[in-house]
Amino acid sequence: MPLEFLARRYDTQDVARVQIAGDRVERVTLLTADELAALGPRVAALPWVAPGFVDVQVNGWGGQEFSSLEITPEQVAQVTREHYPFGVTGYCPTLTTQSYECLAHGLAAIHQACETMPEVTHYVPGIHLEGPFFSTEDGPRGAHPKEHCKRPDWDGFQRLQAAAGGRIRILTMSCEFDESAEFIARATASGVCVAIGHTGADGPHIRAAVDAGAQLSTHLGNGAHRMLRRHPNYLWDQLAEDRLTASLIVDGHHLPPEVVKSMVRAKTPERVILVSDVSGLAGKPVGRYTMTSGLELEILPDGRLVIAGQDQLLAGASLPIQYGIANVMRFAGVSLATAVAMASTTPARLIGAPCGGLRPGDLADLALFHWAPGARTLEIAATVSHGKVLFGKLP
């Protein structure tokens, strides 16, 4: 059945009638002055409509992490459904550093879910593998277990890609190893978007990585030493490299507002994507938890997710991506249209994934939400994927 609703366009702020046929946008027409007058004060209650959000760093939700020896295809589908209320219409399940056995199992479960469950197939354009090719140095390593961090290993990566059915779309790795550049060139040639992250690399290593094909800085400003020399350092090197897009966690915990503003201005909004980096513990109540790796984590009352027993070493995030969209407007002074692009069209373009839009023929992957300037989050009213309402109600 065709869908039709009224909403305010996120990019022009005009009130429009959106018509959807099948899985595509059929027509978007602006309301006339007479139609607006007939609506009267009801116009103010209409939601905004935008392309659905594409979150390329999601570690799990509700107690389930993808890096697990126990995860099943059904649990992958459950995590997918739990993202419907966030306006997300595409995401990259993200596996973090663990044993090859654990990673291969998680990758295989995601691949099986994509092969057998259409709702997962539509939702998952690819998998993000964050590690295990990381520095073992404290600081850059972050919360990734030291015993499983290792040097780049092409044969090992190929085994993981085979377990994933070829679905690994992003690989985050350190680039200070002598073999990093060659590895990056091979991965890039195979169609993988290589990201620099959890690294203590110097300028020459970063330039060599980018020359070899690296395209992204993963959660820039995090997964780093707590103390850095003023200059040079790997944050400046990545900020100054115009060939790198930067992903940022703008949950209000991972980066101070001034840092977000400076990074967005340095990279320009066109080279920034927003990620949630939500942990498998996201959605759980405040408390202390033991992960399958044995790592003790804690969710603090203010929403921070930290290594248990202290309040500074973050171990992922607990807030979904709509918080980052609202926060980047507050912190960096960008427009709604720009903030939405950072969480939808820009990440989709980076990995060659489908994304919704408001032109005739665009995929009907849309997020409808309420938002007011200064708000700390978007209130999602409805999520539409492939022309079907997965969450909420259309106005």
Residues in the chain, total: 395
Which comes out higher in pLDDT, residue 290 or 125? Answer: 125
pLDDT per residue as tens digits for the range 130-170 = 999 998 988 888 889 899 999 999 999 999 999 999 999 99
171 torsion bin: left (phi>0), alpha (psi -120 to 50), beta (else): beta
Contact of 110 with 128, CB cutoff 8 Å: no
Would you state the pLDDT for residue 390? 97
Domains of the chain and any CATH numbers: 3-50+356-392 (2.30.40.10), 52-351 (3.20.20.140)
pLDDT of amino acid 15: 97
Q: Comparing C-alpha atoms, which of 242, 241, 260, 258 is closest to residue 250? A: 260
The dihedral region occupied by 145, where left means phi > 0, alpha psi between -120 and 50, and beta the remainder, is: beta
The span from the CA of 166 to the CA of 276, in Å, is: 24
E strands within the chain?
3-9, 15-21, 24-30, 48-51, 53-58, 60-61, 64-65, 88-96, 127-130, 168-173, 193-196, 216-217, 245-248, 272-274, 287-290, 296-299, 305-307, 366-370, 379-385, 388-392
Confidence of residue 188 (pLDDT cuts 50, 70, 90): very high
Report the share of the chain in percent with pLDDT over 90: 89
Residue type at 339 in one-letter notation:
A
Q: Which two tokens stand for residue 317?
A: 């995030």
Q: State residue 101's pLDDT score.
A: 97
pLDDT at 292: 66
Helix, strand, coil percentages for the chain (3-state, nearest 5): 35, 25, 40
CA distance 394 to 392: 7
Does residue 311 surpass a pLDDT of 90? no
State the pLDDT confidence band at 382, using cuts at 50, 70 and 90.
Answer: very high
Nearest Cα neighbor of 270 from 244, 250, 236, 249 is 244
Crossing angle of helices 73-82 and 100-116, in 10° steps, is: 70
> What pLDDT score was predicted for residue 293?
65
Tens of pLDDT along 341-378?
999 999 999 999 999 999 999 999 999 999 999 999 99
Which is nearest to 146 in space by CA: 291, 290, 293? Answer: 293
Identity at 99, one-letter amino acid code: S
% of the chain beyond a pLDDT of 70: 99
Tell me how far apart the 2 most distant CA atoms of the chain are, in Å.
68
Q: Grade residue 123 by pLDDT with cuts at 50, 70 and 90.
A: very high
Summarize pLDDT for 319-346 with one digit per residue, the tens.
999 999 999 999 999 999 999 999 999 9
Is the pLDDT confidence value at 318 over 80? yes
Q: Which one-letter amino acid corresponds to residue 189?
A: A
Return the minimum-mean-pLDDT range out of 47-51, 126-130, 293-297: 293-297
**pLDDT of 1 strictly over 80:** no
Mean pLDDT of 107-133: 96
pLDDT tens digit sequence for 235-272: 999 999 999 999 999 999 999 999 999 999 999 999 99
The values of phi and psi at residue 127, to 5°, are -110, 145
pLDDT of 294 above 80: no
Average pLDDT, the chain: 95
The reported pLDDT for the residue numbered 313 is 78
Residues 6+ positions from 167 with CB-CB distance below 8 Å = 107, 110, 111, 114, 124, 126, 127
Q: 274, 225, 285, 221: which is closest to 251 by C-alpha?
A: 274
Query: What single-letter DSSP state applies at residue 314?
Result: B
β-bridge partners, 390: none
Q: Hey, which residues are catalytic here?
A: 277
The pair phi, psi for residue 67, each rounded to 5°, is: -80, 80
**Looking at residues 110-115, what average pLDDT do you find?**
98
State the pLDDT confidence band at 2, using cuts at 50, 70 and 90.
confident
**For residue 281, pLDDT beyond 70:** yes
